[in-house]
Amino acid sequence: MWDDAFPSFLIGLREGLEAGLIVSILVATLVRADAKSRLPQVWTGVLAAVALAMSFGAVLTFTAANLSATAQEAFGGVLSVIAVAFVTAMVFWMRRSARTFSGEIREKVTGALGMGAGVLMLTSFLAVGREGLETALFLWTTARAAGESVGPLTGAAIGLVLAAALCWGLYRRVLRINLTKFFTATGVVLVVIAAGVLGYGLRDLQEGGVLPGLTAYAFDLSGSVDAGSWYSTLIQGVFNLMPTMTWLQVVGYVGYLAVVLPLFVRGVRTRTPAPEPAEVRETEVSLRRRPVWVVPVAVVAVPAVVAGLVVAFARPKPASAQTVAVSETECGKGFTAPDTGRQTFQMHNTGDKTAEVYLIDPVTSAVYGEVEGLAPGTTRDLVATVAGGSYAWRCVPTGAKAVTSATVHVSGAGGAVKAVVPVSENDLAAPLKAYKVYVDQGLATLETQTRQLSADIAGNHLGKARTDWLTAHRTYSSLGAAYGTFEDFDQKINGRADGLAGGVDNKDFAGFHRIEYGLWHGQSAGELKVPAQQLAAAVVGLRKAFPAQDFDPGDLPLRAHEILENALQFELTGDTDEGSGTNLATVDSNLAGTRELLTVLTPLLTKESPKLLPTVDADIARLQKLLDSAHHGASWTPVEQLDQTTRAQINGATGQLLEDLAPVPDLLEIRKSA
């Protein structure tokens, strides 16, 4: 959080100090001109500027939330570029104006004194409003880059409070600051931060489809830099530099710094200060009498009301929600052509059976939205984004045939909405068959390896048994997607002591981990002979039973994520280590099993999400490289002996891979709409 706070702290401090100085000079000038009665006009203008800035921030936040994911990326990218332009203009203006700042403001005030209350109010509003809008825009872009708002808002608040304190000290003449040096130093830092915001904005525009080169990486340091470390988090939070950046990001970042920073520094060195103008005293102008609360309330209410109207019109209109009937005979009753954009449909089950409901493209059966388990007599919302094209409802009551409604046609631009092409059991039949062949071959190998392990122990060759134990255990660990079908065999083959009364001494503790404990805790061959024979027998039984076991095809997409999820939870924490220190070898085998599973799923994943596999492949290569670095000949570095950085890198790479694999179960979920 605090790493994300620094850029906002700096912008809050600079913009707050700039706006505060303006207000201080306005107040001081009026006091010296014996026009204290005009101070409420200044504060009214300041209040209006604050209300405008907050309303602008609300509009940015709530309108962006109603956009599609792609549109949000494009919207955020555009505003990031605009924010960079504003910040750049601001630092150059302040560098140029720092020495003449007070004089310019005094001239505006003295001119406004002779032109009525409205002009003085407008002067303070414009002077402070610019800083407020810049702050709101920069805060929004930094919060979006950080992925959270607490840090940026906290940083900005601290900066604004400090700026207010400094302005009070300057006004009361208890504090002296060389404003030229202050704005110059902070300007240099802001130029560097703005370069990072520009790079992040360009990345957003790439992800939003506005700019090309999304997969053209200039460098990828994620395999050697731990994204979760404090230093990496600090650099990303402050400068928006990431371990992986595209060529466009790098060119934008370097190009911006190469042009802007030298111009800024050269301007500082060559600037000659201008003399400050003399103060001017003006007399009080009479004001038209009105209730003192009217103008302040109005200037706050107007931007708030305008912002509320913008947000309200940007949101999906409740009036567009349709009530659509769901049953064996009334599927889609009440459905009319909706407007384009994000729509809410109220799905009401009028039948007597629980149903699944899908909004589909009737030509391709692609799913735009779905509701599962809609009980009889109940109503639930289904939210979907609609573009130009054809739409229909498909209702699948429990135990009954699917019913498809009449098709409606929506006019407007087409192809802007992403739909999921449904996957059926038949689609997963070929991948399931291929994976079962892989598992069957693995079990055949495992049978041979466990027989050899049993023979090693029977012959009292415990050194060789340790080597053969790891070989066999790695084979079993590579079959992770089939564990759900192994039933009781898994406990006999790879059971853990956790949860057993007496732990490792429990008679039901069996399998690889039981033998591991004995081999690495000095137990004799005689003590391990029976457990080894039981392990070999369990593998033989599993191999015979496996072809006839029920292997749910829907398990394949789930296991693509769960294999490594278990590895992160149990292996990378060292929880399953019974003395061998080979958890990383197990993770390596889990990774190999995940790779094999993705291989059989590749045709479907390529069809559903073409960009997913290249990302996942890069993640796998990154994690594999880290695991290889912990593999030294026949030995593996134990998890607890990894240095803190390496361990964090492995955990981070595994977490990133899991995050990128997370969409697989949803993409390949078996849907009855297919």
- pLDDT tens-digit map of 16-54: 777 777 777 777 767 776 777 777 877 887 888 788 878
Question: Cα(618)–Cα(76) distance, rounded to whole angstroms?
Answer: 26
Q: pLDDT class for 551, splitting at 50, 70, 90?
A: confident
What is the pTM (predicted TM-score) of this model? 0.54
Question: Cα(674)–Cα(669) distance, rounded to whole angstroms?
Answer: 11
120 close to 112: Cβ distance less than 8 angstroms: yes
HSE toward the beta carbon, residue 187, CA cutoff 13 A = 28
Q: 564-576 pLDDT, tens per residue?
A: 999 998 999 999 9
Q: 183-215 pLDDT, tens per residue?
A: 777 778 778 878 887 887 888 788 777 888 877
Q: Tell me: pLDDT of 320 over 60.
A: no
Higher pLDDT, 637 or 144: 637
Q: Tell me: pLDDT of 402 over 70.
A: yes
Question: Cα(385)–Cα(102) distance, rounded to whole angstroms?
Answer: 53
Higher pLDDT, 302 or 328: 328
Question: Cα(2)–Cα(9) distance, rounded to whole angstroms?
Answer: 10
Q: 459-496 pLDDT, tens per residue?
A: 999 999 999 999 999 999 999 877 778 878 888 999 88
Q: What is the largest CA-CA distance in the chain?
A: 111
One-letter-per-residue 3-state SS of 140-193? HHHHHHHCCCHHHHHHHHHHHHHHHHHHHHHHCCCCCCCHHHHHHHHHHHHHHH
Residue 105: which of 20, 25, 17 has the closest Cα? Answer: 25
Please tell me the predicted confidence (pLDDT) of residue 285. Answer: 37
Residue 416: which of 205, 209, 663 has the closest Cα? Answer: 209
Please tell me the predicted confidence (pLDDT) of residue 316. Answer: 47
Question: Cα(559)–Cα(439) distance, rounded to whole angstroms?
Answer: 14
Residue 370: which of 671, 66, 662 has the closest Cα? Answer: 671
Distances (CA, A) of 256 to 138, 184, 209, 260, 262: 17, 18, 22, 6, 10
Least confident of 139-143, 312-316, 440-444: 312-316
Least confident of 41-45, 75-79, 151-155, 536-540: 75-79
Q: pLDDT class for 279, splitting at 50, 70, 90?
A: very low
Q: Tell me: pLDDT of 149 over 80.
A: no
Q: pLDDT class for 309, splitting at 50, 70, 90?
A: low
Could you give the percent of the chain with pLDDT greater than 90? 31
Q: Tell me: pLDDT of 287 over 50.
A: no
Q: pLDDT class for 319, splitting at 50, 70, 90?
A: very low
Which DSSP category does 420 fall into?
Answer: B
Q: Tell me: pLDDT of 230 over 60.
A: no
Q: Tell me: pLDDT of 289 over 60.
A: no
If 0-12 CB within 10 Å is exposed, 13-18 middle and 19+ buried, where does residue 456 land? buried
Please tell me the predicted confidence (pLDDT) of residue 275. Answer: 44
Question: Cα(432)–Cα(558) distance, rounded to whole angstroms?
Answer: 13
Neighbours of 490 (CB within 10 A): 17
Residues pairing with 670 in the sheet: 423
Least confident of 325-329, 340-344, 472-476: 340-344
HSE toward the beta carbon, residue 257, CA cutoff 13 A = 15
Could you give the percent of the chain with pLDDT greater than 70? 76
Please tell me the predicted confidence (pLDDT) of residue 277. Answer: 39
Note the Cα 45 to chain centre separation in Å: 39
Mean residue pLDDT of the chain comes to 80
If 0-12 CB within 10 Å is exposed, 13-18 middle and 19+ buried, where does residue 638 land? middle
Six token digits for residue 534? 């039981």
Higher pLDDT, 38 or 317: 38
Q: Tell me: pLDDT of 593 over 60.
A: yes
Which range in 263-267, 342-346, 477-481, 568-572 is most confidently predicted, on average pLDDT? 568-572
